[in-house]
C-alpha cells in the first residue's frame, strides 16, 4: 500500500468516528455488556492508537516496533487516559493520538517506511496492520449500532 493510501486510510478512520459515532447519545454508545458496547470498541481503538503512536516514536528514535499493538515488546507502557471519559472525549483522545501518528509518518524519509533495521516489522507493515484493525473495529461498531450505515 502506498504512503498516500495509508494516510488516507488513517484519516478516514477518524472521520468515520466523528461522523457516525460522535453525534450519537452517550446512552446508545454504552448499551451492552462490558466489552460489548460501541464505547468499549472506541476505548480499545484509542488505547491501540496511543500504543501505536508511542511505538512509532520509539521506532523513529531507534527502537523496534514490536510493542505497537500491546504485545510484550520494547515499547514502554504509556498512561491511558481515564476509563470514565465519555465516548466523545475518547474519540477526541483517539484523534489527538492519530494526529501525532500522522505527523510522525509525514516527517519520515521515504526509505524509512520499509527499513527493517529495527525489528522484523517495517513501519509500512505496522501501519497496514493498524488500518486492518481500524476496519475491524469500525465493522464492530456498525454491528453494535445495528445499522449498515451506523447512523
pLDDT in tens, 30-56: 987 666 899 999 999 999 999 999 989
Q: How many domains is the chain partitioned into structurally?
A: 1
Name the residue with higher pLDDT: 117 or 133. Answer: 133
From the list 97, 114, 117, 82, the residue with the least C-alpha distance to 45 is 97
CA dihedral 13, 37, 140, 19 (to 10 degrees): -30
Q: Is 60 exceeded by the pLDDT of residue 72? A: no
- Find the CATH number of the domain harbouring 96: 1.20.120.450
Q: Is 151 a member of any domain?
A: no
Segment 50-75 shows an average pLDDT of 68
DSSP state of 120: S
Question: pLDDT tens digit string along 91-107?
Answer: 999 999 999 999 999 99
Residue 57, domain member (yes or no): yes
Q: What is the distance between the alpha carbons of residues 79 and 76, in angstroms, rounded to a whole number?
A: 10
Cβ–Cβ under 8 Å, residues 29 and 38 = yes
Roughly how many angstroms between the first and final C-alpha of the chain, as a whole number? 30
Has residue 93 been placed in a domain? yes
Whether residue 74 is contained in a domain is answered as: yes
Q: Would you say residue 62 lies in a domain?
A: yes
pTM attached to this predicted model: 0.83
Higher pLDDT, 69 or 53: 53
Does 150 reside within a domain? no
Find the mean pLDDT for residues 7-30: 95
Confidence band, pLDDT 50/70/90 cuts, at residue 7: very high
Residue 122 pLDDT greater than 60, yes or no: yes
Residues of the domain holding 7:
3-145
Amino acid at each position: 500500500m502506498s504512503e498516500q493510501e495509508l494516510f488516507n486510510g488513517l484519516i478516514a478512520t477518524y472521520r468515520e468516528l466523528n461522523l457516525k459515532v460522535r453525534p450519537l447519545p452517550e446512552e446508545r454508545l454504552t448499551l451492552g455488556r462490558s466489552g460489548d458496547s460501541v464505547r468499549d470498541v472506541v476505548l480499545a481503538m484509542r488505547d491501540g492508537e496511543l500504543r501505536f503512536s508511542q511505538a512509532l516514536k520509539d521506532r523513529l528514535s531507534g527502537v523496534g516496533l514490536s510493542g505497537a499493538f500491546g504485545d510484550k515488546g520494547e515499547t514502554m507502557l504509556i498512561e491511558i487516559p481515564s476509563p470514565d471519559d465519555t465516548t466523545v472525549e475518547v474519540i477526541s483522545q483517539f484523534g489527538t493520538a492519530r494526529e501525532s501518528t500522522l505527523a510522525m509518518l509525514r516527517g519520515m524519509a521515504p526509505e524509512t517506511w520499509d527499513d527493517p533495521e529495527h525489528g522484523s516489522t517495517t513501519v509500512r507493515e505496522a501501519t497496514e496492520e493498524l488500518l486492518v484493525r481500524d476496519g475491524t473495529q469500525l465493522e464492530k461498531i456498525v454491528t453494535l449500532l445495528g445499522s449498515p450505515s451506523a447512523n
